[in-house]
């Protein structure tokens, strides 16, 4: 099986991308990151990528704060294809992926979400969990479809919610699990696709 070329889409600091890089460097994930794209020009994920010599570019969403315009998705597709990307990994990407991108990479876009889906889709799932008073939350890796965190689930891991948890303390424990689970599930899924 050949090494899988990944494309990473992120909006923030890129800690999950760093976990993927660490797994690659440790020999635990047979992949390379071909390109990192962000919808925020000042997102730290771009800096992380550039420091590792990885192509890092901005997605121009034409001033839209939340929407992912078709023209921006088409440009994203061009950049991903140009970089030879086989599997797209969302890492804290805060826009809803739609048809231009889904059609270009059918069953080839993964996301990590900080809850046990279908519970607590959307933003700040760790805060939703604490506010709901649940006793457990967790992490889900899933394929991306046109819905909000609704794609087929590939793997999950539970995280206990303690009575004295704040959104911040729960989020920190969830991130520790994310950083282990995401690279493992990327490798497993790439092997299933025989990339």
The pLDDT assigned to 68 comes to: 92
The pLDDT assigned to 166 comes to: 97
Burial level of 53, CB count in 10 A (0-12/13-18/19+)? exposed
Tokens of 88: 């797209």
Q: Is 171 a catalytic residue?
A: no
The pLDDT assigned to 142 comes to: 98
Mention every residue, 6+ apart, whose C-beta is less than 8 A from residue 7. 33, 34, 35, 36, 37, 80, 83, 85, 87, 88, 89
| Backbone φ and ψ of 61, nearest 5° | -100, 20
- What domains are there in the chain, each with its CATH number? 4-193 (3.40.50.170)
Q: Which sign, positive or negative, has the C-alpha torsion 8, 12, 16, 21? A: positive
Catalytic residue among 40, 113, 171, 179: 113
Mention every residue, 6+ apart, whose C-beta is less than 8 A from residue 30. 1, 3, 4, 187, 190
pLDDT digits (tens, 9 = 90+) for 85-96: 999 999 999 999
**Below-50 pLDDT ranges, the chain:** none
In angstroms, the CA 49 to CA 171 distance is: 24
Helical spans, DSSP H, in 26-98: 44-51, 70-82
Where does residue 163 fall: left (phi above 0), alpha (psi -120 to 50 degrees), or beta otherwise? alpha
Contact status, residue 6 vs residue 190, Cβ threshold 8 Å: no
Tokens of 64: 């839209």
In angstroms, the CA 123 to CA 133 distance is: 17
């Amino acid at each position: 099986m050949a090494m899988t070329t990944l494309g990473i889409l992120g909006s923030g600091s890129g800690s999950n991308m760093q976990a993927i890089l660490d797994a690659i460097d440790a020999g635990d994930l047979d992949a390379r990151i071909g390109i990192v794209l962000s919808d925020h020009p000042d997102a730290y994920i771009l800096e992380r990528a550039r420091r590792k010599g990885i192509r890092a570019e901005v997605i121009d969403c034409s001033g839209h704060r939340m929407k992912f315009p078709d023209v921006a998705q088409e440009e994203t597709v061009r950049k991903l294809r140009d970089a030879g990307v086989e599997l797209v990994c969302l890492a804290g990407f805060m826009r809803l992926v739609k048809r231009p991108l889904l059609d270009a990479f059918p069953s080839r876009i993964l996301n990590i979400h900080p809850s046990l889906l279908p519970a607590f889709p959307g933003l700040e799932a760790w805060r939703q969990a604490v506010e709901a008073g649940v006793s457990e939350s967790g992490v889900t890796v899933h394929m991306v479809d046109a819905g909000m965190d609704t794609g087929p689930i590939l793997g999950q891991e539970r995280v206990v919610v303690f009575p004295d948890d704040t959104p911040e303390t729960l989020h920190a424990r969830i991130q520790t699990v994310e950083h282990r689970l995401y690279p493992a599930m990327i490798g497993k899924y790439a092997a299933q696709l025989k990339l």
